[in-house]
Chain A
């Protein structure tokens, strides 16, 4: 457990596996004025699931957009620091090339192509690849429901089905790193269990490396090997998921199973975080 008050110069490297993705002290600015990430470092080891947790507005989604190269489309940019993938600097690479190199993002809010059928959504996902037939079989194997509804228009699927389709579509590019932005957003608890179950299966069976953002910290830490906690554009806590689940601060603020006196008010939480120098 290493609380980081100031941005670390060297990215912390979790115990097992060589790092597939390393973010080294990156700063992200929107519109040339709004500083959203303030020296963020993290690393994702090959073959592991890493969870990135934190409250609203901490910069989690921005982190994933920085990794997947989507910032320029939102007038944002990485103003300092570097992103390396498999030891290669990809900080300035454009989004399509990152997908070609094995980094896929599944955006928050699912973002399936609503007027395309399920099958066409998957084919679109394989845009960068030639061998889509075997990959589509793999997706149907992990999400058999999609196979049954391959000719349905994606916009009319339920939220859970759309989430499966969004993950399936990201898998079509045969990624080495799958980034998931809030896969549980707006879904019923049973569906959330199913989705996270599939994420764990993908990791175990095909060795997919996953970086997942979640509001639902408990669920995320159940499947993740390692976790980072973000506040105000920086990492404030990191550790293995068991360490984080046992950590009193994490319990208090992110898992909602705090010690004495039940739940804290917003003011108390803010005061506490400030005292911890997280804000």
Chain B
């Protein structure tokens, strides 16, 4: 029993962080129809920016987060402005290749400055042991779940209710019609990239804190694909449920079956979902009326 609770909480923590990373991916896809293969590197850049402020420059945590947000927003805007805007009108494959190139570039920049070794970072989240149903859980996992839940809720409400959230969904639906109501499509593009980078920053900091500051953070980002395919590429609630599912399943498989299998289980789910329900659990089938 205690193992099960343990695995479940660890799975929820992983899943909540995955959902955050995937949410950025979904925001970009929804508003601009770009599949961003560099989402994992956005996590990486976020985590290392925070590490630089917090460990190298010894700044307080809040300052580190603020600097991280500024860097993330700038990264998002620069990527959109300099790399993706010139690609408007090009084929999807070309744009995907560009984001793959971007992931390599960002990864290389991080390696250039920080090398490939694991960096030591003092714990950001306090980690008192908490006992739940007979299992002893490190408190930082619970806090990570809480923080991810808050950020996800705020972003979901922003997306559903706020003026800019509605504008982003309008652009995703019909760009030209969005222009006729006065929405600046370029601004919406920039905003989606910036928001995606910020949610990746938070995911990156949380992940680095419960694991370690090294390059595996980027490969964790690769797991957004099983998450979004499971939840539906364009669904925010689907992303959250997809993230939690993948996180929990991976932990359970790793605990009860085989840690090696746990590495591939997300991708087995990905293939199965593509075969059975290609638009995901909550993905929108296109509404077509003639």
Contacts and interface: CB of A to CB of B under 8 A. Distances in A.
Nearest to B160: A120
Given A113-B174, A115-B169, A107 B163 contact: no
B166 interface: yes
Contacts of B178: 113, 124
B181 A73 contact: no
A155 B163 contact: no
A96 B169 contact: no
A123 B183 CA distance: 12
Interface in B222-273: none
Contacts of B284: 115
A105 B167 contact: no
Contact of A99 (B163, B173, B180, B289): B180
A181 to B, nearest CB: 10
Contact of A111 (B177, B183, B184, B289): B177
B176 interface: yes
Interface in A153-175: 153, 155-156, 159, 169-170, 172-173
A125 B179 CA distance: 10
Interface residues of A, number: 34
A199 B172 CA distance: 29
B176 A100 contact: no
A224 interface: no
Instruction: Name the residue in A70, A105, A113, A120 with the highest tally of chain B Cβ atoms < 10 Å from its Cβ.
Output: A113
B177 A96 contact: no
Instruction: Name the residue in B169, B176, B177, B180 with the highest tally of chain A Cβ atoms < 10 Å from its Cβ.
Output: B180
A98 B179 CA distance: 10
A156 to B, nearest CB: 7
Interface of B: 163, 166-167, 169-170, 172-184, 284, 287, 289
22 contacts: A69-B179, A70-B179, A73-B175, A73-B176, A94-B184, A95-B179, A95-B182, A96-B182, A96-B183, A96-B184, A111-B176, A113-B169, A113-B178, A115-B173, A120-B169, A124-B169, A124-B181, A125-B181, A127-B163, A127-B181, A156-B287, A173-B181
